[in-house]
Chains A and B, each alone.
Chain A
Amino acid sequence: MGACVAWGLARQGLRVCVLDEGDIALRASRANFALVWVQGKGLGLPAYTAWTKSAAEAWPCLASELLSDTGVDVGLDQPGGFTLCLSDRELQVNVDMMMRLHNQPNTVIYPYEVLDHTQTRARLPAIGPEVSGSIYCPLDGHVNSLRLFRALHAAMKARSVDYRADHVVTAIEPRAGGFALKGAWGEVRAPRVVLAAGLGNARLAPMVGLEAPMKPSRGQIIVTEKAAPFLRYPVVTVRQTDEGGIMIGDSEEANASSLRIDHSISSVMADRAIRMFPLLGDLNVVRTWTAFRVMTPDGSPVYEQSETCPGAYVAMAHSGVTLAPQHAFSLADYIATGTIPKEAAVFSTRRFRVPASV
């Protein structure tokens, strides 16, 4: 998120400094599932569906801009994606959810298909007999998130962003004409400050009259050794990276206290992955990890300028990969001009203060 916004601002000719933590930090950018994903998002806030859909549509543009700035191919692949269901009940619940999404007032409509076992198998030959059906959405895809991370760093460098690692910010003080950001390392001043510190926003936002509401959300991911390509399309819980490894995820628990791996959760995820694709059973697991999501109370992003300290912005989203083009292009525009785009105005924290009306 931070790197996207910083690069986006630098593209507009602003002088940008990024203050980052060190080698070991709670980074969503190092712990994500790398999907560019539309299906299923925006229940309760249709604007999020539209925001996500236009993000997916802008991804090819982001990928090519990054390629031309850095020479790094982020491996964008948008062949469409599947939600695989292991029982008729699962399929029904997912189908109902997609219908509810599309029945919301003022929502954008996007194509999707509900497929039975045989139809699913025609596109995903490796599925097991327990797969009762699936939902396919042609807008979905994935990237190589490690290369995205590297590309964004290279892109910041290419645009002369002043990137400073090991610069934990401990205080932000509003000053005439701007802000002073302080830490053990010293101080920098800037007329504008963007808080894109993920979980760290909870600590930083109040310093500039902003809120960063989040609920605890912990996810767990399993990664296997490299395997020969077997999966043409990403599945929401199983994807094969372009290097060959299989990623299996992702769980969600209301836990914000411990990054201890829960082997029981790994077991459920592994079991389901094998039932979806029996040939995965003999692959070696090389890594598991847990991470905290940057999860707002309703799961949709928060972008907001401070009313009491104009020039200070907060930006948070748990779908940092999917929304990357929005952050690099639209959100950077917003911050550069101070004018929030109409389609993003709804993403302020005001929505948490009014009784739910949608």
Chain B
Amino acid sequence: MFRRLSDRASGEITFTFDGRPITASAGDSVAAALLAAGVRACRTTPVSGSPRGPYCMMGVCFECLVRIDGVDNRQGCLVIVQEGMRVESQRGSAALMAEPAQ
């Protein structure tokens, strides 16, 4: 869906998306890194479960929501990808997985 211009590749960053290792360029937003890796849909909607992917890339549409390092509903286009980051598809509403503190 997108490819990177050879003159724009900078330091390599490795992260995972739904467990799959992906190589990104330093400074990429999570959404850009996913587009470069051929990922079209990164979430399903809470209302109908239909698939969605990045739309505006400027923080206004909230379509590129993903789970990042266990936190749901992060805007992928506003978060810079970091080495070892665990990115997952956002499935519907935010999950409330955390165990209540004992």
A interface residues with partner B (beta carbon < 8 Å): 125-129, 225-228, 230, 244, 277-284
Contacts and interface: CB of A to CB of B under 8 A. Distances in A.
Contact of B93 (A127, A228, A278, A282): A228
Interface string B69-102: 0011100000000000000000011111111111
B46 interface: yes
A244 B92 CA distance: 10
A125 B100 CA distance: 8
Nearest to B74: A284
A295 B26 CA distance: 58
Contacts of B102: 129
Given A244-B46, A282-B71, A226 B100 contact: no
A278 B97 CA distance: 11
A284 B98 CA distance: 15
A128 B101 contact: yes
A230 B96 contact: yes
Contacts of B93: 225-228, 244
Contact of A126 (B72, B73, B95, B100): B100
B11 to A, nearest CB: 30
B84 to A, nearest CB: 20
Contacts of A226: 46, 92-94
A84 B72 CA distance: 27
A228 B92 contact: yes
Contacts of A280: 96
B31 to A, nearest CB: 17
A277 B102 CA distance: 12
A125 B98 CA distance: 12
Contacts of A125: 100
A127 B71 contact: no
B96 A126 contact: yes
Contact of B96 (A128, A227, A284): A227
Nearest to A283: B94
Contacts of B72: 282
B46 A282 contact: no
B91 to A, nearest CB: 9
Contacts of A284: 73, 94
A227 B95 contact: yes
B82 to A, nearest CB: 18
A227 B92 CA distance: 8
B48 to A, nearest CB: 13
A279 B100 contact: yes
Contacts of B73: 225, 284
Contacts of A230: 96
Contacts of A227: 93-96
A279 B96 contact: yes
Given A226-B46, A228-B92, A282-B98, 15 more contacts: A126-B100, A128-B100, A128-B101, A225-B93, A226-B92, A226-B94, A227-B93, A228-B94, A277-B100, A278-B100, A279-B96, A282-B71, A282-B72, A282-B94, A283-B94
